[in-house]
């Protein structure tokens, strides 16, 4: 006899656990199946993001940033700290503590909202039956749902011929667990993960080389921002090599020998550790029975419509396993939207206003379209920008690198994109997301009073500059 639920969620990551909580809040009898095993051997909710992704990487980024600032910048503030050292085990322990608090917090929210959790691997069968292979036993349980939400997430893409061994050749998980600073770290892929984790170990003293097959740096970002970012990362001793294709990697005598090919031909590089981060793909292994009714796309993602319906009745899918950006906040908003649709409410997501963030130092964040996209689409626009170097707060902080760039429709003045590189870019972008969600114009932001002195004044001045009337820069 199957246990009955209004909603069964397979996957307890940012899409799944949020969908489960919202469904329960709406009065639906809800279950969530999650297979992740924490350090204590028990179920750990939160998926990749909380356990080995967004959260632990940000913990290490902040620890390494404090260390770098203390070592290289605090003297300018009159702070003499003497000899500075980093205790790597303590740094990792703090990271684990942060993760534990958050995963435990999600478990507490499940209990408070009466979401029933099952620790195991869920598989969708025909008729919305979910077969759960329990993690801590050989038993299986059968669940029956009126609705099922698939939130199985994603996994790292492996390169052909390069095997992860968890010690010398690692994915993002392994790069969060180095017990000592590698003397020389190779990173395949100069995207978000490569830049963030490369920055962590570079700040702590590693010689970091990023090998990127594409000819352009951060092509998803606005070209003005990516060019400025490339210059800044070079100052930070990140060796970014574009147009470099990795052909093979082999561990010999506790070192990784990597064969690469660029415009100069083929050569070999030797590293103490190699991080492979060339992207992620939807994880659907053993998720669906042949008669589940759920279809996959050519890319291996779960096929959904604009409201996250799959091809099976009352089966939905959200997050990394479906189309759209693989971002935790996108997954969460999809999860909320689906829960509300199931409960008979109206809900939607505007993919055009999903913000992107790279948590380097300085941070990079953007929302909407880039200048190159607008030019390719033939959309007439006006552009305004403002440098943090001209803000009092940025100079007082000692972190005034970067700029805000705003793009607006030439005729209507509606904001089409905002691109930021600088201190607290991840926070500053939120104002721009709200503005774009409400179809605001650059004039709207230009006429809003911004506190002084703040970093947000750079957003204000960029908006003023779109209209050719910035105060603290030449228009």
Rounded Cα gap, residues 431 and 442, in angstroms: 12
Number of separate domains in the chain? 3
Rounded Cα gap, residues 225 and 425, in angstroms: 12
Rounded to an integer, the average pLDDT of 343-352 is 92
Do 213 and 114 have their domain in common?
A: no
Rounded Cα gap, residues 317 and 371, in angstroms: 32
Q: What is the side-by-side order of every strand in the sheet holding 255-262? A: 245-252, 255-262, 265-271
pLDDT tops 90 at residue 469: yes
pLDDT tops 90 at residue 401: yes
CA distances, 410 to each of 225, 373, 384 (Å)? 21, 15, 12
Please, which pLDDT band fits residue 40 given cuts at 50, 70 and 90?
Answer: confident
Q: Do residues 9 and 149 lie in contact, with contact meaning Cβ atoms separated by under 8 Å? A: yes
Q: Which helix (H) or strand (E) holds 406?
A: strand 403-409
Rounded to an integer, the average pLDDT of 325-338 is 98
Tell me the helix, strand and coil percentages in the chain, rounded to 5. Answer: 35, 25, 40
Do 416 and 361 have their domain in common?
A: yes
CA distances, 254 to each of 169, 271, 272 (Å)? 11, 9, 7
Rounded Cα gap, residues 221 and 362, in angstroms: 14
Rounded Cα gap, residues 353 and 356, in angstroms: 9
Do 173 and 151 have their domain in common?
A: no
Do 361 and 443 have their domain in common?
A: yes
Other CB atoms within 10 A of residue 426 CB:
17
Do 184 and 133 have their domain in common?
A: no
Rounded to an integer, the average pLDDT of 353-371 is 98
Within-domain flag for 472: no
Name the residue with tokens 């690692």: 170
Q: What is the side-by-side order of every strand in the sheet holding 207-211? A: 169-170, 273-276, 184-188, 207-211, 238-241
Residue 1: its pLDDT value, please? 67
Do 224 and 145 have their domain in common?
A: no
What is the per-residue burial (b if ≥16 Cβ within 10 Å, else e) of 276-314? bbbebbbbbeebbeeebbbebeeeebbbbeeebbbebee
pLDDT tops 90 at residue 39: no
Do 41 and 181 have their domain in common?
A: no
Other CB atoms within 10 A of residue 263 CB:
8
Other CB atoms within 10 A of residue 166 CB:
11
Rounded Cα gap, residues 167 and 275, in angstroms: 10
Q: Do residues 218 and 306 lie in contact, with contact meaning Cβ atoms separated by under 8 Å? A: no
pLDDT tops 80 at residue 295: yes
If DSSP codes are grouped into helix, strand and coil, which group holds residue 409? strand
Do 309 and 254 have their domain in common?
A: no
Residue 55: its pLDDT value, please? 98
3-state secondary structure 114-132: CCEEEEEEEEECHHHEEEE
The mean predicted confidence, pLDDT, of the chain is 97
Do 43 and 147 have their domain in common?
A: yes
Within-domain flag for 438: yes
Rounded to an integer, the average pLDDT of 2-15 is 97
Q: Do residues 124 and 130 lie in contact, with contact meaning Cβ atoms separated by under 8 Å? A: yes
Rounded to an integer, the average pLDDT of 285-305 is 97
Q: What is the pLDDT of residues 50-80, one digit of tens each?
A: 999 999 999 999 999 999 999 999 999 999 9
% residues pLDDT > 90 (the chain): 97
Residue 31: its pLDDT value, please? 98
Residue 260: its pLDDT value, please? 97
Rounded to an integer, the average pLDDT of 326-337 is 98
Rounded to an integer, the average pLDDT of 446-473 is 98
Beta bridge partners of 123: 131
Within-domain flag for 474: no
Do 188 and 150 have their domain in common?
A: no
**Beta strands, E only, 92-191:** 116-124, 129-134, 140-150, 154-156, 169-170, 184-188
CATH code at 235? Answer: 3.50.50.60
Do 330 and 410 have their domain in common?
A: no
Domain of residue 85, residue span: 3-156+281-349
Residue 2: its pLDDT value, please? 86
Rounded to an integer, the average pLDDT of 400-425 is 98
CATH code at 417? Answer: 3.30.390.30
Rounded Cα gap, residues 224 and 421, in angstroms: 10
- Domain end (from 228, 252, 278): 278
Long-range pairs, 91-98, Cβ under 8 A, ≥24: 91/60, 91/63, 91/64, 92/176, 92/177, 92/179, 94/59, 94/63, 95/56, 95/59, 95/60, 95/63, 95/176, 96/39, 96/56, 98/55, 98/56, 98/59
Q: What is the pLDDT of residues 174-192, one digit of tens each?
A: 999 999 999 999 999 999 9
Active site amino acids = 452
């Amino acid at each position: 006899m199957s246990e009955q639920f209004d909603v069964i969620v397979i996957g307890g990551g940012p899409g799944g656990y949020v969908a489960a909580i919202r469904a329960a809040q709406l009065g639906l009898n809800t279950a969530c199946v999650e297979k992740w095993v924490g350090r204590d051997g028990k179920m750990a909710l939160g998926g990749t993001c909380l356990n080995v992704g967004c959260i632990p990487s940000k913990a290490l980024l902040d620890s390494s940033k404090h260390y770098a600032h203390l070592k290289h910048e605090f003297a300018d503030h009159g702070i003499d700290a003497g000899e500075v050292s980093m205790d790597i085990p303590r740094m990792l322990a703090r990271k684990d503590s942060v993760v534990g608090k958050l995963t435990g917090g999600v478990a507490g929210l499940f209990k408070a909202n009466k979401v029933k959790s099952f620790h195991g691997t869920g598989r969708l069968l025909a008729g919305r039956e979910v077969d759960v292979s329990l993690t801590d036993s050989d038993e299986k349980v059968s669940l029956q749902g009126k609705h099922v939400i698939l939130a199985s997430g994603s996994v790292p893409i492996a390169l052909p011929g390069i095997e992860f061994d968890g010690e010398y050749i690692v994915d993002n998980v392994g790069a969060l667990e180095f017990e000592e600073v590698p003397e020389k770290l190779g990173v395949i892929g100069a995207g978000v993960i490569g830049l963030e984790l490369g920055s962590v170990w570079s700040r702590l003293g590693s010689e970091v080389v990023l090998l990127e097959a594409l000819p352009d740096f951060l092509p998803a970002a606005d070209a003005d921002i990516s060019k400025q970012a490339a210059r800044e990362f070079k100052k930070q001793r990140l060796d970014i090599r574009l147009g470099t294709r990795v052909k093979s990697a082999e561990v010999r005598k506790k070192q990784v020998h990597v064969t690469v090919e660029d415009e100069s031909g083929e050569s070999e590089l030797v590293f103490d550790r190699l991080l492979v981060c060339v992207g992620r793909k939807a994880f659907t292994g053993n998720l669906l029975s042949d008669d589940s009714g759920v279809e996959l796309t050519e890319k291996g993602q779960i096929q959904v419509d604009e409201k996250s319906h799959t091809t099976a009745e009352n089966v939905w899918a959200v997050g990394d396993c479906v189309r759209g950006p693989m971002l935790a906040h996108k997954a969460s908003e999809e999860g909320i939207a689906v829960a509300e649709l199931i409960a008979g409410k109206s809900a939607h997501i505007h993919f055009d206003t999903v913000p992107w963030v790279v948590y380097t130092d300085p941070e990079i964040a953007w929302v909407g379209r880039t200048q190159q996209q607008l030019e390719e689409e033939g959309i007439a626009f006006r552009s305004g920008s403002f440098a943090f170097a001209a803000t009092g707060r940025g100079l007082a902080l000692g972190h005034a690198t970067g700029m805000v760039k705003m793009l607006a429709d030439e005729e209507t003045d509606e904001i089409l994109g905002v691109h930021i590189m600088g201190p607290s870019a991840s926070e500053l972008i939120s104002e721009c997301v709200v503005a774009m969600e409400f179809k605001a114009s650059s004039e709207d932001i230009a006429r809003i009073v911004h506190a002084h002195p703040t970093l947000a004044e750079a957003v204000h001045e960029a908006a003023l500059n779109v209209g050719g009337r910035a105060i603290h820069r030449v228009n």
